[in-house]
Amino acid sequence: MSEEVKTVEEAPPPPPMGIDDEPFAELEAIVGSKYITKSPTICQAYTGRGYGREAFWYQGMTTRPCCVCLPASTEEVSRIVKLCNRYDIPYTAGSTYWAVAASCMFRGDIVMIDLKRLDTLEIDEKNMYVKIGPSIIYSQLQAELMKRDLYIYMPGGGGQPSVVSNQMFQGQGILNYRICAWPERRFNGANWVNPEGEVIRCGIFMDREDHAAYGQAPGPDLFGIFKGNTAWWGTMGTLTEIATKVYPFQPERMIPDGLGRDAALDLPPRVQYQNYTLTTEEALQGAMQELYREQICGALNRVPMFWRDIAKAGSRQEFWDLWSKVTEQDTANTHIIRVLFIGYTSQKQLDYEMKVAEDIIVKKYGGTARRTKQTDDGTFLYSIVTGMWKPTGFYASSCVGFESTRCTLTLNDQQVEALNKEPYNSVFFEQHKEHPWYAPFNLGRVMYSEFMAYLDCEKIDPANSKFDMNHVGGLLTFLHSEIPMRVIQTGYSNLFGNGHINSKTELGPASHNYHEWVWKLKAEFDPKDVCRKGLGDHMDVVIQSAPQVLTEEYKAVRDNLASRGWKDAEI
Ligand SMILES: Cc1cc2nc3c(=O)[nH]c(=O)nc-3n(C[C@H](O)[C@H](O)[C@H](O)COP(=O)(O)OP(=O)(O)OC[C@H]3O[C@@H](n4cnc5c(N)ncnc54)[C@H](O)[C@@H]3O)c2cc1C
């Protein structure tokens, strides 16, 4: 056999493409011809959307769906999913598409179920919960809640994602200092279309009368099954409606002011921000710890210097002009804590908490109150934020999650150190050894943090003249070796690697092969493997196609942990 023929024979088969006329006609009968399309132009709009696209779309992983349909009800979603099971057609559902995880991957025969038409919004003020469909976004819900002296947690990324999908995806932000940080524990109920298309009504949806108090029962419940520990990201079916808890706030409105990038909300008297400078990081941590031990404040977090320059800059160029003047000395000497005070019950409560905070931060830890604008553009309604921290055009969260304070802060230190050595410091932008932000959740029971590593997204775009393979290599090595190595060494629970489920075969062995259980469970619910096909494997596909991204150092740590167990391993 000639070399040429052999190559053709051994080449992997082309990915399946398109959809046959018969299933398409049946889908059309379910949703109506106005709400389904095979148009390549419209389908292309669903390709590689949301953050993480820089890496995944550019590397050819995300694909165009074979068709897009927009069901109007739980029943229609159920019928679509049953049809997909009957014809063995893969499908994926998306709500607001801020994450590339909602995009199709590796194949061209996936039906996209866009949930935009599911727009229930019912607020039960008395029992403090809402029933919402996937098309309702946070800003919209928060604005309605605030009219009723209620509020909900907001994701750090902004107010534009769907409340339903975000809570299935991550569901955390700084307001989780007071509000339970685990979304599945905030649920009162859900309408779940499982991967085979059966509708399962949980919590208050079992009986629409008066089960508002439904919450967590002892032991596992169905919310845990479809939410998962970190997230299934659509691989365990579709939520068409949820009921979720909302929380008492204060009575006065936040008034929008300013235009464009200067738009912000004026804070009412019972909501105040106050920033303080501390002299050392230890003092900052000590003060933070005492604040949450006293159970005061509405939220608090460490402010990296980087944020200050973002706030000052009028453009991306101006940001870099400012940030390039910063030195390692500057970042090492800057320790800022931002405290949000909310007088939930009265002005008196606010005054009391501010007094206690001053005693702790200023009198005990020697901090200084900074001049602080009494406006908000990134906590309650996200009036101007449509994304954040993308000064290179690249979504840079390489490690996100929470653990004990000790674990989170140790990992932060290690990541700063890793980013400052080769090959990473010539690939990523200079961060002057800046430490990431962190924030206590659940009154300090856990510490949340996000580690950012920025690179020039033009250099990883194969269609760009600046494309540089070293940058792609550096990025993948950082995400697949450097970060996972620190994560398994510290025992941190990283929610994702740059917006995606981590490689199961790589991380699994060092984590009691949890992935085997995860995917066995999934197979029970989705025997045909049609729901969100490809997502569970995609990190492994990346690694199989570029095994060199796993460093020897990482492999040694992983194998040591896998063979000797976490307690006895020499880490
Ligand atoms: C810069 C930035 C910062 C961010 N910071 C935070 C943060 O601090 N905290 C936080 O919680 N989030 C954060 N996010 C995440 C963001 O808020 C979105 O929730 C996330 O990107 C998912 O997008 P989405 O909600 O639009 O869901 P989609 O993109 O529509 O879907 C995401 C996944 O969920 C699945 N899915 C969608 N709808 C459903 C459904 N109804 N039922 C079941 N599965 C479904 C999809 O299949 C997909 O896998 C951040 C995002 C960005 C861009």
- Ligand 1 close to Cβ of residue 168 (< 6 A): yes
Closest CA to 336 of 370, 380, 313, 383: 370
pLDDT in tens, 273-310: 999 999 999 999 999 999 999 999 999 999 999 888 88
94 torsion bin: left (phi>0), alpha (psi -120 to 50), beta (else): beta
Q: Among residues of the chain, what percentage have pLDDT more than 90? A: 57
> Does residue 133's CB lie within 6 angstroms of at least one atom of ligand 1?
no
Which residue, judged by its Cα, is nearest atom 2 of ligand 1? 157
Of these ranges, 105-114, 213-222, 393-402, the one predicted with the greatest mean pLDDT is 105-114
* Nearest by Cα to 372 from 271, 477, 287: 271
Task: Decide whether any atom of ligand 1 lies within 6 Å of the 156 Cβ.
Answer: yes
499 CB less than 6 Å from ligand 1? Answer: no
What residue's CA is closest to ligand 1, atom 51? 157
**φ, ψ for residue 262 (rounded to 5)?**
-90, 0
Structure confidence at residue 58 (pLDDT): 79
CATH architecture classification, 268-373: 2-Layer Sandwich (3.30)
User: Is ligand 1 within 6 A of the CB of residue 533?
Assistant: no
Q: What is the pLDDT of residues 415-460, one digit of tens each?
A: 999 999 989 989 998 889 999 999 999 999 999 999 988 888 889 8
pLDDT at 219: 55
Using an 8 Å Cβ cutoff, are 409 and 490 in contact?
Answer: no
- 484 CB within 6 A, ligand 1: no
Q: How far is the CA of 166 from the centre of ligand 1 (A)?
A: 4
At residue 2, the pLDDT reads 47
Q: What's the CA-to-centroid distance between 95 and ligand 1, angstroms? A: 8
Task: Please tell me the distance between residue 98's alpha carbon and the centre of ligand 1 in angstroms.
Answer: 6
Ligand 1 proximity of 161 Cβ (cutoff 6 Å): yes
Higher-pLDDT residue of 14 and 31 is 31
pLDDT at 154 over 80: yes
Q: What is the pLDDT of residue 499?
A: 41
Beta bridge pairs of residue 450? 400
CATH of domain 15-114: 3.30.43.10
Q: How confident is the model at residue 383 (pLDDT cuts 50, 70, 90)?
A: low
CA–CA separation, 569 and 110 (whole Å): 43
**C-alpha span between 398 and 496 (Å, rounded):** 8
Q: Which residues of 299-331 are buried (b: 16+ CB within 10 A; e: fewer)?
A: bbbbbbbbbbbbeebeeeeebbeebeebeeeeb
Angle CA(514)–CA(165)–CA(179) in degrees, nearest 5?
Answer: 85
- Tokens 């949806």 found at: 205
- Closest ligand 1 atom, CA of 535? 49
Q: Which atom of ligand 1 is nearest to the CA of 233?
A: 49
The confidence band for 12, taking pLDDT boundaries of 50, 70 and 90, is low
pLDDT digits (tens, 9 = 90+) for 76-87: 999 999 999 999
CATH tag for 121-248 (out of 3.40.50.1450, 3.40.50.620, 3.30.465.10, 1.10.340.30): 3.30.465.10
Which of the residue ranges 19-28, 54-63, 153-162 has the most confident prediction, judged by mean pLDDT?
19-28
- Could you say which DSSP state residue 148 is in? T
Judge contact between 419 and 431, C-beta under 8 A: yes
Q: Identify which of 165, 174, 232, 400 to mutate to test ligand 1's pocket (most ligand atoms within 8 A of the CB).
A: 165
The number of C-alpha atoms within 13 Å of 413 and in the hemisphere containing its C-beta is 7
CA 45 to chain centre: 22
- Ligand 1 pocket test, pick from 53, 95, 441 with the greatest ligand atom count within 8 Å of Cβ, gives 95
pLDDT, one tens digit per residue, over 455-484 is 888 898 888 999 999 999 999 899 889 998
23: CB partners within 8 A, 6+ apart: 83, 87, 89
Please give the distance of CA 444 from its chain centroid, rounded to a whole number.
20
Distances (CA, A) of 537 to 106, 473, 533: 10, 20, 9
- Residue 104 to residue 223: CA distance in whole angstroms: 25
Token couple for 434: 């800046």
CA–centroid distance, 115 to ligand 1, in Å, is 13
What is the rounded CA–CA span in Å between residue 542 and residue 61? 9
Q: If pLDDT is split at 50, 70 and 90, which confidence band does 352 have? A: very high
d(CA 463, CA 468): 11
Sign of CA dihedral 542, 543, 548, 550: positive
Answer for the pair 101, 230: CB distance below 8 angstroms, yes or no.
no
Tokens representing 450?
């996000």
Q: Whose CA is nearest to atom 23 of ligand 1?
A: 98
**Separation of CA 290 and ligand 1 centre (Å):** 33
Pairing of strands 111-114, 67-69: parallel
508 CB within 6 A, ligand 1: no
**Which residue reads 């005054």 in tokens?**
351
Residue 501 reports pLDDT greater than 80: no
When pLDDT is cut at 50, 70 and 90, the band that residue 19 belongs to is: very high
Q: Give the whole-angstrom CA distance, residue 547 versus residue 422.
A: 19
Site of tokens 């690179």? 455
CA distance 344 to 8: 69
The pLDDT of 358-381, averaged and rounded, is 94
Q: What is the pTM of this model?
A: 0.92
CB atoms within 10 A of CB 254: 20
**Tokens linked to 166:** 């975000």
Peptide bond preceding 440: is omega within 30 degrees of 0, i.e. cis?
no
Ligand 1 atom 47, closest CA: 234
Neighbours of 258 (CB within 10 A): 14
Mean pLDDT of the chain: 88
Task: For residues 177 and 172, give the distance between their C-alpha atoms in angstroms, rounded to a whole number.
Answer: 10
- Nearest CA among 156, 58, 1, 135 for reference residue 472: 58
Per-residue pLDDT at 92: 95
User: And the tokens for 185?
Assistant: 């524990």
Summarised one tens digit per residue, pLDDT across range 168-181 is 888 999 999 999 99
pLDDT at residue 323, rounded to an integer: 93
CA 401 to centroid of ligand 1, rounded, Å: 15
DSSP letter for 392, please.
T
Provide the token pair at 400. 């996100």
Residue 58 and residue 37: Cα distance in Å, rounded?
25
From the CB of 235, is ligand 1 less than 6 Å away?
no
Give the C-alpha separation, 328 to 278, whole Å.
Answer: 17
Q: What is the pLDDT of residue 216?
A: 56
User: 138 in ligand 1 pocket by Cβ < 6 Å?
Assistant: no
CA 352 – ligand 1 centroid, Å? 37
| CA–centroid distance, residue 138 to ligand 1 (Å) | 12
Ligand 1 atom closest to 390 (CA): 1
Q: What is the CB neighbour count within 10 angstroms for residue 14?
A: 8
Phi, psi of 290 (to 5 degrees): -70, -35
DSSP assignment of 25-48 equals HHHHHHH-GGGEE--HHHHHTTSS
How many residues does the structure list for the chain?
571
> Does pLDDT of 271 surpass 70?
yes
Domain boundaries of the chain, sorted by first residue: 15-114, 121-248, 268-373, 397-568
Q: Position of tokens 């393979």?
A: 469
497 lines ligand 1 (CB under 6 A): no
For ligand 1, atom 13, name the residue with the nearest CA: 157
